Amino acid sequence: MDYKRLTLFAGHYGSGKTNIALNYARWLRRQNLPVTIADLDIVNPYFRTKDSEAALAAEGIRLIVSEFANSNVDLPAMPKEAYELVSDPTVYGVLDIGGDDRGALALGRYVPAIKEEGSYEMLFVVNRSRPLTRTVADTLEVMGEIEEACNLPFTAIVNNTNLGLQTTASDVLSSLEYAQELSQKTGLPIKMTCAAGWLWEELTGKVPDLFPLSIQKLYYMIDSEVNSWQN
Partner 1 sequence: MQEKTLMKGNEAIAEAAILAGCRHYFGYPITPQTEVAAYMAKKMPKIGGTFLQAESEIAAINMVYGVASTGKLAMTSSSSPGIALKAEGISYLAGADLPALIVNVQRGGPGLGGIQPSQSDYFLATRGPGHGDFHVLVLAPASVQEMADLTGKAFELAMKYRMPAMLLADGTMGQMMEPVVLPEPKEPAAQSPAWAAVGTECKRFHNVVNSLYLDPLTLEHTNFERFERYAAVERDETMWEEFLMEDAEICVVSCGITARVSRNAIVEARKRGIKVGMIRPITLWPFPKKPLQAAAEKVKSFLCVELNMGQMKEDVELAIRCKKPVDLCCRVGGMIPSPDEVLAKIIKANEQGG
Binding residue for partner 1, selected from 5, 12, 130, 191, defined by CB under 8 A: 130
Size of the site for partner 1 (CB under 8 A): 26
Among 23, 49, 52, 129, binds partner 1 (CB under 8 A): 129
Output the smallest distance, CB 47 to partner 1, in A. 6
Helix (H, G, I), strand (E, B) or coil at 82: helix
CA-to-CA separations, 212 to 122, 191, 197, 217, in angstroms, rounded: 20, 13, 6, 16
* Region of 33-41, 78-86, 209-217, 223-231 interacting with partner 1 (CB under 8 A): 223-231
Q: 31, 32, 72, 228: which one contacts partner 1 (CB under 8 A)?
A: 72
Least separation in angstroms between residue 27's CB and partner 1 is 23
Q: Name every residue whose Cβ is closer than 8 Å to that of residue 25 and which is 6 or more positions away in sequence.
A: 35, 37, 56, 61, 94
**Please, what is the minimum distance in Å from the beta carbon of residue 18 to partner 1?**
11
Pick the closer one to partner 1 by CB: 46 or 90.
46
**Residue 224 makes contact with partner 1 by CB under 8 A:** yes
Cα 33 from Cα 95, distance rounded (Å): 16
Among 7, 23, 36, 44, binds partner 1 (CB under 8 A): 44
CB of 101 to partner 1, least distance (A): 11
Least distance between partner 1 and beta carbon 195 (Å)? 14
Query: Per-residue x/- mask for partner 1, residues 148 to 177, rule CB under 8 A?
Result: --------------xxxxx-----------
Exposure letters 62-101 (e unless 16+ CB within 10 A, then b): bbbbbeebeeeeeeeebbeebeebbeeeebbbbbbbbbbb
Give the binding range for partner 1 (CB under 8 A) out of 71-79, 105-113, 148-156, 190-198.
71-79
Contact assessment for residue 114 and residue 120, using Cβ atoms and an 8 Å cutoff: yes
Closest CA to 55 of 82, 23, 100: 23
3-state helix, strand and coil shares in percent for the chain, rounded to the nearest 5: 45, 20, 35
Q: What is the DSSP pairing of strand 190-196 with strand 156-159? A: parallel
| Site residues, partner 1 (CB under 8 A) | 14, 44-47, 70-72, 74, 127, 129-132, 134, 162-166, 219, 221-224, 227
